[in-house]
Every structure is written in structure tokens, then in C-alpha cells.
Amino acid sequence: MEDFLYLFRNTAGNRAMSPEEMERTLHKWRAWIGELAQAGHFKGGEPLDRGGKVLAGRRQVVTDGPFAESKEVVGGYLIVSAPGLDDAVQLARGCPIFEAEGSVEVRPIIHMT
Amino acid sequence: MSAEGPPEPGARPGEVDRAVDHLFRRASGQLVAALTRLFGVGNLDLAEDVVQETLLQALDQWPLSGIPANPAGWLYRAAGNRAIDALRRAETRQRLNPQVRAVMELSGSPAGGPAASLPAWMLDDAAIAADTLRLMFVCCYPALPVESQLALILKVLAGFGTGEVARALLAEPTAVEKRLYRAKQRIRDARIAFELPPAADLASRLNAVLAALYLMFNEGYSSSFSEHPIRRDVCLEAMRLTKVLTEHPIGQRPEPWALLALMCFHAARFDARTDGDGHLMLLRDQDRTRWCVPLIAEGFRALGRAAAGESLGAIQLEAGIAALHCLAPRWEATDWPTILRLYDLLLEVKPTPVVALNRAVALAEVRGPRVGLEAVELVVASGALDGYYLVPAIIGDLHLRLGEPEPAARYLARAHELTASPAERRLLKAKLRVCGMGRPARDTLQP
């Protein structure tokens, strides 16, 4: 089994949702993550504040970040355990983020042995 | 902060989710009310924006952080933080009332920090109820057309989205948006204070609120527009708001209690109103074991409070009639003579054609279908109910009971034409089959 990082990027697809629709979406997320947990894939995960800073370059220039465009901001991550990349991708398909035109970036974590 | 992390293996997500059942919608209404106190009645849009952003923030974080141990508290604190941020923006400050300055001074904490210094009133149950009530009176501002009052209550107080409001009112979403925009504009121009009405106006303003809540419940209850589940939610919200009213000093009068009783008795029949296939069931045919006994009990408790007054108003009489139906274990055991007496009284205080029609139905039960038919025909002669499908439906039914299938079929077919509700049409078609008119009728009717 290998570990993978899921990076979630949400577009503004949620913006016009009614409170009731938001709640239904929340239930879907919890159901999906619950399934990952029950099947032994879930290793951790947390949301990320959308604010923050970026330091860059030799002069360590600090900008408010991370990005101006909300759809490029990573809103949170999950660490998922799966046999391989294809499996990790397959597991990601159940994420409700796609209904709001969001994306999941799946990256294998390299563990030093 | 969070006590409930992502689900452990073996934990069933459904269990925790109960804590958030309709939380977002409920919280939305309460938060808008609290923020209206902060921003003023003229800034409903701002209050709504802050609440929307808060809920989106929860949707953003809770899937991965877990649902907080006190979800409502989390929402209130987050909304409070956003409100403070909004207040810090100079252009907002200029529009705000003196109370806001007090809030600003109290909340010296940096933006984004926990709102521990927020005034206690934002997080207090009694204050929430009081703010909800104030907002109710704002929404039922008498100069607004009733449809606008209804749209405002549904959107702003009950936390429905614009699309959901449109479905509930059988309107186009763009029409609802325009209506809401104009209503808020009028409220802004009228410079209404966010307070309960003065004593002199209280009775009439309260009547306006009760009428709106009654209408809201009926919109949810009637199957005339759709079979969408939003109906039941609208009814439950109307009941919840009526309850808030009865729990406040100004609502401690017979009429709000009577309205609550009426709603309880009707809501108690929700599960029995449709059969397993989703078909609408007449009161006569409902499986009464599916009536909700706790709701009926609550209805009687409320009715008891309503009877404390000296006068018998229309709502109390209607509640009494509904109570009598709920008391009967079977249709055949219904106390029709008393129901008829109540209708006689109701007709005196509320002499509308619909009441006369309903009374005629009771009359038919007490004095037979022929007498009932004569009473209905009197109502019809006034012309007031032309186009109302129930009139020919009732006439048709009475003819059927008199063993006159030909006129019965004519009237039932007419009723079928007049109603847009799929559930009602199915019911009418079933009755037409009983008339035994055979193929011609079936060929001409849409399903």
C-alpha cells in the first residue's frame, strides 16, 4: 500500500447554494470520507484556511496569498492509503467536489526507506 | 475546537449527521435575524450575504475538520467575526446605527479571531427568539403585498433559497428575485425600526403575521402545485415560527395558539395523506393509524391555550373543526353535528364562499347529500368560486352518493379539467371509474 495526497480545489460552484443544498453536500462529503475510513484508506486530512502568505525568491518577498483566483486555492487535503495511483484516482471519484466543478489533485507521497 | 473528527472506521456518518439536520436552514434564519439587529432593517442584503458566506465557510471546513461539538455555536461565532469584518469596512459603518458602535468597541480583537468579546445577545436563546419575532413583523410589513410578505418569510426567516421559494410559491425564480428586491427596497425606504410594533398597532400587525403564517402553511400543505418534498418543510417552518410566536409574551393570546393547534392537526395527517404509491388520500380513506399522535396531542395542548380567551374567532373555530376530525378514530365516527355547528359559527365570522362550501360538505353528512347539494348550489350561484376545482368535485361526489352517475361524471370530469395537481387528478380519475362511464371518459382525459 502507498500513500497519496489529495489536494482539493473548489471553484465558486457552491456560491449560489441554498442552506439546505449546502447541508446535503456536507452529508455527501461525510459519507464519502466515511466510506474511505471504513475501507481502511483514510489516514488523515484537514481543511486549510484560504488566507495565508507566500514567500518567494532569494529576497523572500512576501505576498498575501496564496492566489487571487479562488479556484486555484487548495481548500484542504486528505492522505489516503491505496495499492497504487490508479486505485487512488478511482477512490477520488466519489468526492462531491466534482458536482461543483471542483478538482482533486492526486499525488503519490514518496516515503524514504 | 472540533470534537468530532472525520469518521472512524465503524462509525456511521448518519448518526452524527442528525445533529445537523436542517441546521443550516434553521441557523440561516436565526442568524439573519440577529444580524439585522446589528446592521439595521435597511441592510437585509448585507445580513444575508454575511450568513451565506458563513455557511459556505462551514461547508468548506467541516467535511475535513469534522462537525464541531456545538455546530450552531460555531456558526454564530463565525458569523459574528464576519459581521465585525463587514463593520470595519468604512462604507458599511456609515449606514449603521449607534448600537453598532458599541459592538465595534467591544470587539477589539483582530479580525478573524474568536468572537469571545461579541455581545452575549447574539448567542442567547431568548434573544434569538426575540430577533426572529422582530424580523417576522418586518417581513409582514402591511404595505407589502401578501405574496411579497410570504416570499420574504420563506427566504429571510425560514432560510430557503430563491429557487426553493419559487418552487414553494409556484413562481419563476427571476420573478421571486424581483419581488424580494422590491420588497426590501420598500422596507429600506420606510425606515422601519427593528422593534416590535407599538401596543396600539400590535393586534392588527399580529393579525398580518398570523395571516402570512397561515398562508405559508397552506402553500406547503396544499397539493395543488407539486408533489415536491419542499411542501412539508414549508409547513414545518410555518409551525416553528408560529411556536416562536406563542412562546413570546406578545403571542400569549388565543389566536397564535389556535393557529398552532390548526397546523398541528393538519400536520399530524402528513403521513396518511398519501398512500404507498404517492397517491393523495381523502380524509375519508386515510389510514388513521398513520396519524401522528404526539402532534395531535400538541394540537390539543395549543387548543386549550386558545380557548382561554373570551371570543371565538375564525382560527379557533377552524382549529376546533380540525380537532374534531382528529378525535374520530374512523371517518364513520366523526362528530358531524358538532362540526356543522362550528361551521355555522365560522360562517358568521368568516362568511367566505370557501367556508360556505366546507359547511355544505358537513351539512351533507348530517342531513344527507340532497340537502348538501342544495347548499353547494347556493355557493355556486354566487359565482365566487368559478374555476375552483373543488366545487365540481364536491358536486360530482354528492351526485355519486345520490346514485346519479351521469351528472356525477360530468362534474368530476370538469373538476379534472380545472386542477393542475397530478395527485388530485388521479383521485378524480379513480372516482370517474366508479361512475362506470367507460372508455369515452378515459380517452378524453390526460393522465
Tens digits of per-residue pLDDT, B215-251?
Answer: 899 888 874 444 555 578 889 999 999 999 999 988 8
Best of B20, B28, B64 to disrupt the A interface by mutation (most A CBs within 10 Å)?
Answer: B64
Secondary structure (3-state) at A62 = strand
Best of A5, A7, A23, A46 to disrupt the B interface by mutation (most B CBs within 10 Å)?
Answer: A23
In the predicted model, what is the mean pLDDT of residues B172-183? 96
List all residues of chain A from 62 to 81 with a beta carbon under 8 Å from chain B: 75-78
CB contact under 8 A, A27 and B13: yes
A104 contacts on B by Cβ (under 8 Å): none
CATH number at residue A74: 3.30.70.1060
A42 contacts on B by Cβ (under 8 Å): 6, 9
What percent of chain B shows pLDDT beyond 90?
A: 52
* Residue B193 confidence (pLDDT): 86
How far, rounded to the nearest angstrom, does the alpha carbon of residue B252 sit from its chain's CA centroid? 20
* Residue B334 confidence (pLDDT): 95
Best of A14, A21, A22 to disrupt the B interface by mutation (most B CBs within 10 Å)?
Answer: A22
Helix axes B314-327 and B293-306, enclosed angle (nearest 10): 150
CB contact under 8 A, B22 and A33: no
Question: What would the 3-class secondary structure string for chain B be?
Answer: CCCCCCCCCCCCHHHHHHHHCCHHHHHHHHHHHHHHHHHCHHHHHHHHHHHHHHHHHHHHHHHHHCCCCCHHHHHHHHHHHHHHHHHHCHHHHCCCCHHHHHHHHHCCCCCCCCCCCCCHHHHCHHHHHHHHHHHHHHHCCCCCCHHHHHHHHHHHHCCCCHHHHHHHHCCCHHHHHHHHHHHHHHHHHHCCCCCCCCHHHHHHHHHHHHHHHHHHHHHHHCCCCCCCCHHHHHHHHHHHHHHHHHCCHHHCCHHHHHHHHHHHHHHCCHHHHECCCCCECCHHHCCHHHCCHHHHHHHHHHHHHHCCCCCCCHHHHHHHHHHHHHHCCCHHHCCHHHHHHHHHHHHHHCCCHHHHHHHHHHHHHHHCHHHHHHHHHHHHHCCCCCCCCHHHHHHHHHHHHCCCHHHHHHHHHHHHHHCCCHHHHHHHHHHHHHHCCCHHHHHHCCC
Question: Where are chain B's structural domains?
Answer: 13-123, 128-241, 387-447
* Residue B84 confidence (pLDDT): 84
Check CB contact of B24 with chain A, cutoff 8 Å: yes
* Residue B105 confidence (pLDDT): 58
CB contact under 8 A, B24 and A30: no
In-domain check, residue A113: no
For residue range B86-117, list pLDDT tens digits in order: 887 755 666 665 556 555 555 554 443 334 44
> CA B360 → CA B89, B284, B316, B339, B364, distances in Å?
63, 16, 20, 11, 6
Check CB contact of B5 with chain A, cutoff 8 Å: no
In-domain check, residue A52: yes
* Residue B9 confidence (pLDDT): 42
B65 contacts on A by Cβ (under 8 Å): 46-47
* Residue B328 confidence (pLDDT): 94
Check CB contact of A46 with chain B, cutoff 8 Å: yes
In the predicted model, what is the mean pLDDT of residues A23-46? 95
What percent of chain A shows pLDDT beyond 90?
A: 73
- B374 contacts: CB under 8 Å, gap ≥ 6: none
ipTM: 0.92
Count of domains for chain A? 1
- Cell numbers placing A71: 479556484
Which span out of B1-10, B175-184, B206-215, B307-316 was modeled with the highest average pLDDT?
B175-184
| Residue B157 or B117, more confident | B157
CB contact under 8 A, B161 and A17: yes
CB contact under 8 A, A14 and B59: yes
Least confident of A26-35, A48-57, B6-15, B24-33: B6-15
Alpha carbon distance B133, B24 (integer Å): 19
On the question of pLDDT at B297 being above 70, the answer is yes
Alpha carbon distance B357, B183 (integer Å): 35
The backbone torsions φ and ψ at residue B430, rounded to the nearest 5 degrees and listed phi first, read -60, -40
On the question of pLDDT at A64 being above 90, the answer is no
B250–chain A nearest CA distance, Å: 30
A78 contacts on B by Cβ (under 8 Å): 64
List all residues of chain B from 228 to 247 with a beta carbon under 8 Å from chain A: 233
Instruction: List the domain range (segments joined by +) for residue A20.
Output: 2-108
Alpha carbon distance B423, B387 (integer Å): 18
CB contact under 8 A, A34 and B60: no
- B138 contacts: CB under 8 Å, gap ≥ 6: B36, B41, B152, B187, B192, B194
Alpha carbon distance A13, A97 (integer Å): 9
A84–chain B nearest CA distance, Å: 21
A39–chain B nearest CA distance, Å: 7
Q: Name the pLDDT band for B128 (thresholds 50, 70, 90).
A: confident
On the question of pLDDT at B422 being above 50, the answer is yes
| Residue B282 or B149, more confident | B149
Least confident of A96-105, B120-129, B196-205, B427-436: B120-129
In the predicted model, what is the mean pLDDT of residues B362-390? 90
Stretch (H or E) spanning A75: strand A74-82
A29 contacts on B by Cβ (under 8 Å): 62-63
Beta partners for B280?
B274
Q: Name the pLDDT band for B284 (thresholds 50, 70, 90).
A: confident
In-domain check, residue A95: yes
Give the type of residue at A93: R
In-domain check, residue A60: yes
Pick from B172, B228, B218: nearest CA to B422: B228
Best of A11, A18, A70 to disrupt the B interface by mutation (most B CBs within 10 Å)?
Answer: A18
In the predicted model, what is the mean pLDDT of residues B317-340? 95
Of the partner residues A33, A37, A38, the one whose CB lies closest to the CB of residue B63: A33
In-domain check, residue A83: yes
* Residue B221 confidence (pLDDT): 80
Residue of chain B with shortest Cα separation from A28: B63
Best of B24, B160, B164 to disrupt the A interface by mutation (most A CBs within 10 Å)?
Answer: B24
Of the partner residues A10, A27, A37, the one whose CB lies closest to the CB of residue B9: A37
CB contact under 8 A, A76 and B25: no
Of the partner residues B13, B20, B161, the one whose CB lies closest to the CB of residue A31: B13
Residue of chain A with shortest Cα separation from B28: A19
On the question of pLDDT at B173 being above 60, the answer is yes
On the question of pLDDT at A88 being above 50, the answer is yes
In-domain check, residue A94: yes
User: In the Cβ-directed half-sphere of B426, how many Cα atoms lie within 13 Å?
Assistant: 14
Secondary structure (3-state) at A8 = strand
On the question of pLDDT at B356 being above 50, the answer is yes
> CA B20 → CA B16, B70, B114, B160, distances in Å?
8, 10, 22, 16
Q: Name the pLDDT band for B427 (thresholds 50, 70, 90).
A: confident
- Cell numbers placing B334: 366523526
On the question of pLDDT at B155 being above 50, the answer is yes
A29 near A42, Cβ under 8 Å? Answer: no
Query: How many CB atoms sit inside 10 A of residue B69's CB?
Result: 12
Check CB contact of A82 with chain B, cutoff 8 Å: no
On the question of pLDDT at B150 being above 80, the answer is yes
CB contact under 8 A, A30 and B22: no
* Exposed/middle/buried for residue A61 (C-beta within 10 Å: 0-12, 13-18, 19+): exposed
Least confident of B116-130, B134-148, B270-284, B375-389: B116-130
Alpha carbon distance B206, A81 (integer Å): 60
* Residue B116 confidence (pLDDT): 43
Does the bond joining B13 to the residue before it have cis omega, within 30 degrees of 0? no
User: In the Cβ-directed half-sphere of A90, how many Cα atoms lie within 13 Å?
Assistant: 8
